[in-house]
Amino acid sequence: MSQEWDAGRLDSDLEGVAFDTLAVRAGQHRTPEGEHGDPMFFTSSYVFRTAADAAARFAGEVPGNVYSRYTNPTVRSFEERIAALEGAEQAVATATGMAAIMAVVMSLCSAGDHVLVSRSVFGSTISLFEKYFKRFGVEVDYVPLADLSAWDAAIKSNTKLLFVESPSNPLAELVDITALSEIAHAKGAMLVVDNCFCTPALQQPLKLGADIVVHSATKFIDGQGRCMGGVVAGRGEQMKEIVGFLRTAGPTLSPFNAWIFLKGLETLNLRMKAHCANAQQLAEWLEQQDGIEKVHYAGLKSHPQHELAQRQQKGFGAVVSFEVKGGKEGAWRFIDATRLISITANLGDSKTTITHPSTTSHGRLAPQEREAAGIRDSLIRIAVGLEDVADLQADLARGLAAL
């Protein structure tokens, strides 16, 4: 956009507005065309008025776009909207959620640094730390998510980051984010929270004391299983390093995907409320069924961290996991008997999905690693969508009848 252009009244005044208003309007900077919707900028490069203008932009002496590997107006709108919703100084978008995690560690850690990771994280996250970060000299240890004393004891003099998912995938375990951030900061470390399951509509980790938030925007931020992307949010000091990593390494979000995510954010709060309501009903129903040995959902009073979830979240999320009788064979029979719910490992979709974590999302982990993370062969995960709950119950009843 030309530096001479002033949108004036065409841009919305967002001072003091609430979450839902930010989700619809934050980050939009209207062009001279006066468009009401968010525009898509499909361009790899940008033109300059003069050679001097080009040199100044490349040198960072004046603001403006240079190349879409690291700046694009549509992507920037998405970044600004996420930053507004998370209460961050800045956000940086990436090609996938895993790329967001990679960008954080590659930007902020060096060989010899130590990272503490919750045992209750996504299988690919463990693989990233184990197979790749360790190879480049980053020390990695794992800690039970909810055990604050274990986190405190495991921090070393060279610990740079503490990395958690809260709620975790797939068991919906939580950690007291405020308490853990105080432990990290007392010893000079930063706390990184994967907020994918809650989104900023249900939880804002930065306001609870975390330093950095990461998302797989592929999930609830999109909301319809269409596009892949990720985003990191936090203080400008750290985000500057992550921008530099993207500029060089290039795990960049496409403008089209950014536009899709902007549309997803407009309905985020409404969708998350509906997801949570459906998940609560299903979790309560499952807990009463024969053949179900245990249900993992923080919205249940039986969940050991129900009170903590009430305190630091605005809702309990859409992911419900449960253990069935019959081990792996029973779990597979249950899944195969369903006829409505989609058998897929993705989540955050308007369509409910069902998967067997120990042979899909966590299948590449060694058996002892799955056991340490609580991923048993009898475990099934459903990511509850927006269908009628009675229809979902009827389909899960088919699974129960197959046990």
Q: Could you read off the pLDDT of 286-344 as tens digits, one per residue?
A: 999 999 999 999 999 999 999 999 999 999 999 999 999 999 999 999 999 999 999 99
Same domain, 254 and 326: no
Together in a domain, 276 and 203: no
**Measured distance between the N- and C-terminal CA atoms of the chain, rounded to whole angstroms:** 61
On whether residue 8 sits in a domain, the answer given is no
User: What dihedral do alpha carbons 46, 49, 55, 60 form, nearest 10°?
Assistant: -60
Residue 56 lies in a domain: yes
Same domain, 179 and 128: yes
Q: Compute φ and ψ for 231, nearest 5 degrees.
A: -160, 145
Out of 202, 229, 264, pick the residue that ends a domain. 264
Q: Is 136 within a domain?
A: yes
* 44 secondary structure, DSSP code: S
Region 4-25 average pLDDT: 91
The CATH number of the domain where 298 resides is what?
3.90.1150.10
pLDDT of residue 3: 54
201 and 316 together in one domain? no
What type of residue sits at position 253? Answer: L
CA–CA distance, 258 with 308 (Å, rounded to integer): 33
What value does the mean pLDDT take over residues 257-284?
Answer: 98
Asked whether residue 6 is assigned to any structural domain, the reply reads no
Query: Residues 41, 47, 49, 52: what is their CA dihedral angle, to the nearest 10 degrees?
Result: 130
Query: Looking at the structure, do residues 245 and 300 belong to the same domain, yes or no?
Result: no
Written as one string, the DSSP assignment of 25-42 is: HTT----TT--SSPP---
Give the pLDDT band (50/70/90) at residue 1: very low
Judging by beta carbons within 10 Å of its beta carbon (0-12, 13-18, 19+), is residue 24 exposed, middle or buried?
A: middle
323 shares a domain with 245 = no
* Segments forming the whole domain that contains residue 34: 13-264
In a domain, 27, yes or no: yes
How many structural domains does the chain have?
A: 2
Domain boundary among 224, 249, 264: 264
Kindly state whether residues 292 and 336 are assigned to the same domain: yes
Residues 71 and 137 reside in one and the same domain = yes
pTM above 0.75, yes or no: yes
For residue 72, the model assigns a pLDDT of 96
Distances (CA, A) of 35 to 32, 42, 286, 326, 337: 8, 16, 48, 58, 49
- Residue 2 within a domain: no
On whether both 144 and 94 belong to a single domain, the answer is yes
Q: How many residues does the chain have?
A: 403
State the average pLDDT over residues 200-221. 98
Per-residue exposure over 316-353, b if at least 16 CB sit within 10 Å of its own CB, e if not: bbbbbbbbbebeeebbbebbebbeebeeebbbbbeebb
Quickly state the pLDDT bin for 2 (edges 50, 70, 90).
very low
pLDDT at 54: 95
CATH of the domain at 177: 3.40.640.10
Where among 264, 280, 298 does a domain terminate? 264
Q: Is residue 7 assigned to a domain? A: no
List, edge to edge, every strand of the sheet that includes 342-343: 292-296, 319-324, 379-383, 353-355, 342-343
Residue 338 CA, chain-centre distance (Å), reads 28
How are beta strands 159-165 and 190-194 bridged, if at all?
Answer: parallel
Cα separation, 74 vs 384, in Å, equals: 30
Residue 58 covered by a domain? yes
Q: Are residues 101 and 136 in the same domain?
A: yes
For the beta carbon of residue 81, count every other beta carbon within 10 angstroms.
28
| Residue 277 to residue 285: CA distance in whole angstroms | 13
Task: Render pLDDT for 67-77 as a digit per residue (tens, 0 to 9).
Answer: 999 899 999 99
Q: Based on the fold, state whether residues 390 and 247 are members of the same structural domain.
A: no
* 191 shares its domain with 210: yes
